């Protein structure tokens, strides 16, 4: 074998060896997992809260990187309808306060055509009110009935359930009733109230 052929063979072997080394080096490098990618780009809920006070007689706090919208409605039975959303994640928290003839949670379930076992319903406090909380079709719902008024707070977590669970818990835990302004009910010429349209939420007295 001539010296020239030997040199060519050595060059070829060197090139092959270099490719093998590079291939093995790349193969040994751990690829980022989908979970790591999601964690790096995952939006986080702000710990800073801002408080919203509704003229219907309630207030609550929510993370300041969420957006709250008042939904206009022509339904005379609805006192307030709100939606809280995120710019980064699909999902929403919905709050509705409305007039109702229903007196109990059982009546509400029947009217809403929702079937729940007792073990699926958790009794909680919504401010000074007693409320029932449950999960149905992936949605967490909190319901409270007081003095002809129905409070409904629900969350639909389309993305990142932990994010929306934390956001929802902040709303529910800080929810409370607010007293009406001192001049909320004007007097008529006879000295009486001009009307009975103003609602006063009394709540339930808790004795410990």
Q: Is 165 found in the same domain as 82?
A: yes
How far apart are alpha carbons 30 and 33 in whole angstroms?
Answer: 9
Question: From its phi and psi, is residue 122 left (phi > 0), alpha (psi between -120 and 50) or beta?
Answer: beta
Helix H or strand E segment including 88: none
Q: How many structural domains compose the chain?
A: 2
Q: Is 124 found in the same domain as 88?
A: yes
How far apart are alpha carbons 164 and 170 in whole angstroms?
Answer: 10
Reported pTM: 0.70
Q: Is 148 found in the same domain as 50?
A: yes
How far apart are alpha carbons 43 and 163 in whole angstroms?
Answer: 8
Question: From its phi and psi, is residue 163 left (phi > 0), alpha (psi between -120 and 50) or beta?
Answer: alpha
104-124, pLDDT tens digit by residue? 999 999 999 998 999 999 999
155-200, pLDDT tens digit by residue? 999 889 999 999 999 999 999 999 866 655 444 434 444 444 445 4
63, 87 Cβ separation under 8 angstroms: no
Q: Is 49 found in the same domain as 21?
A: no
Scanning the structure block, which residue is given the tokens 């074998």? 1
Q: Is 151 found in the same domain as 93?
A: yes
Lowest mean pLDDT among 99-103, 108-112, 129-133, 177-181: 177-181
- Residue 51 belongs to a domain with what CATH number? 3.40.1000.10
């Amino acid at each position: 074998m001539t010296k020239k052929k030997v040199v060519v063979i050595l060059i070829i072997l060197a090139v092959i060896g270099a490719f093998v080394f590079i291939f093995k080096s790349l193969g040994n490098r751990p690829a980022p997992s989908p979970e790591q990618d999601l964690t790096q780009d995952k939006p986080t809920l702000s710990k800073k809260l801002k408080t919203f006070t509704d003229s219907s007689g309630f207030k609550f706090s929510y993370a300041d990187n969420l957006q709250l919208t008042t939904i206009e409605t022509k339904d005379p039975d609805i006192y307030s309808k709100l939606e809280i959303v995120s710019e980064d994640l699909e999902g929403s928290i919905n709050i509705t306060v409305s007039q109702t003839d229903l007196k109990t949670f059982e009546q509400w379930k029947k009217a809403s055509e929702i079937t729940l076992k007792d073990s699926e319903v958790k009794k909680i406090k919504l401010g000074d009110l007693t409320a029932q909380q449950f999960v149905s079709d992936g949605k967490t719902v909190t319901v409270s009935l007081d003095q002809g008024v129905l409070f409904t707070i629900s969350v639909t977590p389309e993305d990142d359930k932990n994010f929306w669970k934390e956001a929802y818990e902040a709303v529910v835990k800080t929810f409370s009733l607010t007293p009406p302004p001192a001049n909320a009910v004007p007097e008529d010429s006879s000295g009486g109230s001009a009307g009975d349209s103003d609602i006063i939420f009394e709540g339930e007295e808790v004795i410990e």
